Amino acid sequence: KSGTYKAPIQMQASNGILVVDDFGRQTIRPSDLLNRWIIPLSRGVDFLKLANGTKFTVPFELKLVASTNLNPNSLGDDAFLRRLRNKVYVGAVEEDAFNWILARVAKAKSLQVTAEGAERLRQQAEDHLGELRPYLAVDFCELALGICEYEGAARNLDQAMIDRVASVYFVNEEVAQERKSSAERAAELAQKAAELAASSSNANPLGFDPFSITLHQN
């Protein structure tokens, strides 16, 4: 067939960087994607085919970067992982680094961060996550900015705003457990009621359903 073909994504990234974000959460299985690229990564050459069956090779010259919060060992075997020779773990940060990130994000979003607000955010992070994760600064600033813009309030990231954002950001384990227990109790009561109705031989002494209407024709 004649016409214009759109190059695959790895060819578009030739001589550049191809970033696969949240690797392992795409609709395609990780193993299928890895098997597709394992030979090009090894040989530096990719094999493409047109709709009319014509096959040809193109250079596979790019830097592949995959980011994920899943266990890398669950995404591929040793044959593929050894071709991704540089593996960088991005974990929690120290207090100084966290404050630096928060200050930069707040400045970019025109938010005024108070010392009490920064301290409160660190405390919330430690209480709920046990560590200071760098993405919290971005998430909290974006949520706070949305609240301020909606209410027309001053763009202040103080202690009260941090607590307000935290109340909708973090999962309250006690409330979640209480709701789960209530749902389980309701399910148990419903099951007991169904068993009682099924075991009762005199469940309907009238002998018919009083809530149903039957049409009789003469």
Domain harbouring 109, CATH code: 1.10.8.60
Pairwise CA distance, residues 182 & 188, whole Å: 10
Tokens of 154: 């001053």
Residue finishing a domain among 57, 81, 105: 81
- Number of domains the chain is built from: 2
For 158, the domain range is 95-169
Instruction: Supply the pLDDT for residue 209.
Output: 47
Q: Is residue 189 part of a domain?
A: no
Q: Is residue 180 part of a domain?
A: no
Instruction: Supply the pLDDT for residue 37.
Output: 86
- Among left, alpha and beta (phi > 0; psi -120 to 50; other), residue 186 is alpha
CA distances from 171 to 148, 165, 176 (A): 22, 12, 8
Model confidence pTM above 0.75: no
Pairwise CA distance, residues 65 & 49, whole Å: 25
pLDDT in tens, 168-213: 999 766 544 555 556 667 667 777 777 776 665 455 544 444 444 4
Q: Is residue 144 part of a domain?
A: yes
Pairwise CA distance, residues 93 & 104, whole Å: 15
Instruction: Supply the pLDDT for residue 1.
Output: 52
Q: Is residue 111 part of a domain?
A: yes
Residue numbers in the chain where pLDDT is lower than 70: 1-2, 172-184, 186-187, 197-218
Q: Is residue 104 part of a domain?
A: yes
Residue with tokens 């530096």: 44
Instruction: Supply the pLDDT for residue 217.
Output: 47
Q: Is residue 71 part of a domain?
A: yes
The three-class DSSP label of residue 54 is coil
Tokens of 120: 């409160």
